[in-house]
């Protein structure tokens, strides 16, 4: 990082978000961890009773929920994207529910994250506070001595310097410390990024293998369904028009071979054949556009602007793409955006905001509509299909749709 980046970083907002994370760390962890530990303790004490097992299962469910909240908070303040682990596999029945909750490895890892984050947040808060206070106090130390005399020290820190050269040196060092504070805070919060990635996401090998197997199965099924749809569209659409075109041209050829062709009949046959050819070309063009939109050749931003220009609702766009994504990623992002815009248009949830950006090594697509809210990922639903689509390239989709709106769908796709 060069000097310009050091000076500009605070103005970009990253420092303020990371400082907010540091300041929220201790109270937020205490407010979430202490009730959980108390609930677990009561659950262990009352284990011989059914209520103890239910309390343990409920605490672990709460831990998993808090882990999801910390993933969202880390994404907003630290800029780290942690893939959501798969939901717990629960079977019907009370005892199976309890057994599934107690054996939920994700919930236990979320609880471990909260336990480890408490001392880590305390250490980060102490070090960050010391950095900022010492930097500010030391920067104005020379001015303090100039105003109150050589033998006066600042009440915040007893720096204990004697002589103006030492005081100026302290002020220069403190000013330099303030300049590099954004980098130091970023390094300190890096420990939280590693902790979140290690404990709040699907990290075990078996979970990763299951995710990859599921993604591969979805990709195979999607490719098979796509091929069948292309075959059906070709058979029922373009092929039928081409067959009719061939028949009409054949009749016209026979008419010409008869020696005395009827001009009106030939004109009708040729006109009908021309109509069949035009419809066949249109269906082939639509079919090709459904496989790979031609606008994507100019870039994802151009393709999405073209898409939103013909949307049923007013759409505002924002793009912050540092580089072009691979073709497969752009294609998935395009069709995902098209599906989300179509859903918003179906429910009249306008206006819509569409933002696409590159965050670290991921492409992020955010679609916000002003609909009634209540959208959720249901098995067999449209959003579930989008989850499967982005999952084929190890991406994930999140939905935030409180009652009354707005609905915010965030898609993360690895680059």
Q: Average pLDDT in the 52-75 region?
A: 84
Which of 310, 357, 307 shows the shortest CA–CA distance to 334? 307
What pLDDT is stored for residue 266 in this prediction? 74
Coil, strand or helix at 116:
helix
Which of 111, 109, 156, 159 shows the shortest CA–CA distance to 132? 156
CA distance 303 to 358: 16
What pLDDT is stored for residue 165 in this prediction? 65
Instruction: Check whether 405 has a pLDDT greater than 50.
Output: yes
Domain ranges of the chain: 3-199, 205-291, 296-414
Which helix or strand (DSSP H or E) is residue 359 part of?
Answer: strand 352-359
Q: What is the pLDDT of residues 270-286, one digit of tens each?
A: 777 777 777 767 666 66
Tokens coding 176: 């330099």
| pLDDT bracket for residue 219 (50, 70, 90) | low
Around Cβ 77, how many Cβ atoms within 10 Å?
Answer: 19
Which of 349, 340, 398 shows the shortest CA–CA distance to 367? 340
Q: What is the pLDDT of residues 72-109, one digit of tens each?
A: 888 778 877 777 776 666 666 677 777 777 777 788 88
Instruction: Report the b/e string of 342-366 with b at 16+ CB within 10 A.
Output: ebbbeeebbebbbebebeeebbbbb
What pLDDT is stored for residue 1 in this prediction? 43
Report residue 152: phi and psi, to 5°.
Answer: -95, 140
CA distance 60 to 53: 11
Q: Average pLDDT in the 225-244 region?
A: 65
Q: What is the pLDDT of residues 135-172, one digit of tens each?
A: 777 777 666 666 665 555 545 444 455 556 666 666 77
CA distance 75 to 69: 10
What pLDDT is stored for residue 156 in this prediction? 47
Burial degree of 209 (CB within 10 A; 0-12, 13-18, 19+): exposed
**Which range has the worst mean pLDDT, 86-90, 249-253, 299-303, 338-342?**
86-90
Cβ-based neighbours of 137, under 8 Å, separated by 6 or more: 154, 156, 157, 174
What pLDDT is stored for residue 362 in this prediction? 83
296-414: CATH topology is: Heat Shock Protein 90 (3.30.565)
Q: What is the pLDDT of residues 107-140, one digit of tens each?
A: 888 888 888 888 888 988 888 888 887 777 777 7
Q: What is the pLDDT of residues 311-364, one digit of tens each?
A: 777 888 888 888 888 887 888 888 888 888 888 877 777 788 888 888 777 888
Q: Average pLDDT in the 181-197 region?
A: 82
Higher pLDDT, 369 or 103: 369
Q: What is the pLDDT of residues 204-216, one digit of tens each?
A: 555 556 666 665 6
Mean pLDDT of the chain: 75
Burial degree of 249 (CB within 10 A; 0-12, 13-18, 19+): middle
> From residue 26, how far is each of 123, 124, 128, 377, 386 by CA, in Å?
10, 9, 13, 33, 37
Instruction: Check whether 17 has a pLDDT greater than 70.
Output: yes
Which of 79, 169, 173 shows the shortest CA–CA distance to 131? 173
Instruction: Check whether 304 has a pLDDT greater than 80.
Output: yes
Torsion of CA 107, 22, 16, 186, to 10 degrees: -90
Q: Average pLDDT in the 363-390 region?
A: 80
Which of 58, 51, 64 shows the shortest CA–CA distance to 105? 64
**Do residues 79 and 68 lie in contact, with contact meaning Cβ atoms separated by under 8 Å?**
no
């Amino acid at each position: 990082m060069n000097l310009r980046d050091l000076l500009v970083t605070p103005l970009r907002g990253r420092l303020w978000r990371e400082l907010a994370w540091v300041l929220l760390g201790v109270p937020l962890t205490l407010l979430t961890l202490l009730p959980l530990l108390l609930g677990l303790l009561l659950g262990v004490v009352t284990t011989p009773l059914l209520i103890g097992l239910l309390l343990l299962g409920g605490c672990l469910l709460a831990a998993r929920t808090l882990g999801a909240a910390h993933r969202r908070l880390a994404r907003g303040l630290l800029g780290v994207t942690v893939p959501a682990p798969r939901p717990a596999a629960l079977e019907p029945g009370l005892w199976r529910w309890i057994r599934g909750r107690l054996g939920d490895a994700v919930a236990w890892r979320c609880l471990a994250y909260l336990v480890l984050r408490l001392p880590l947040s305390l250490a980060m808060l102490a070090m960050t506070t010391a950095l900022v206070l010492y930097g500010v106090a030391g920067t104005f130390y020379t001015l303090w001595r100039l105003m109150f005399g050589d033998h006066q020290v600042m009440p915040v820190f007893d720096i204990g310097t004697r002589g103006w050269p030492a005081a100026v040196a302290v002020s220069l060092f403190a000013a330099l410390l303030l300049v590099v504070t954004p980098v130091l805070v970023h390094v300190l919060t890096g420990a939280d990024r590693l902790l979140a990635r290690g404990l709040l996401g699907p990290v075990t090998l078996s979970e990763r293998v299951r995710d990859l197997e599921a993604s591969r199965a979805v990709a195979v099924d999607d490719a098979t369904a796509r091929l069948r749809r292309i075959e059906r569209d070709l058979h029922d659409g373009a092929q039928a028009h081409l067959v009719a075109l061939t028949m009409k041209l054949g009749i016209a050829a026979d008419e010409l071979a008869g020696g005395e062709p009827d001009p009106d009949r030939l004109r009708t046959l040729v006109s009908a054949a021309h109509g069949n050819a035009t419809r066949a070309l249109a269906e082939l063009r639509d079919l090709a556009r459904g496989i790979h939109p031609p606008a994507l050749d100019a870039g994802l931003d151009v393709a999405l602007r073209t898409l939103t220009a013909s949307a049923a609702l007013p759409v505002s766009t924002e793009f912050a793409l540092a580089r072009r994504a691979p073709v497969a990623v752009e294609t998935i992002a395009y069709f995902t955006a098209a599906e989300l815009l179509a859903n918003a248009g179906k429910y009249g949830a306008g206006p819509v905001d569409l933002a696409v950006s590159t965050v670290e090594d991921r492409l992020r697509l955010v679609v916000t509509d002003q609909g009634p809210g209540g959208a959720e990922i249901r098995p067999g639903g449209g959003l579930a299909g989008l989850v499967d689509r982005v999952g084929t390239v190890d991406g994930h989709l999140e939905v935030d749709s409180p009652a009354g709106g707005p609905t915010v769908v965030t898609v993360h796709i690895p680059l």
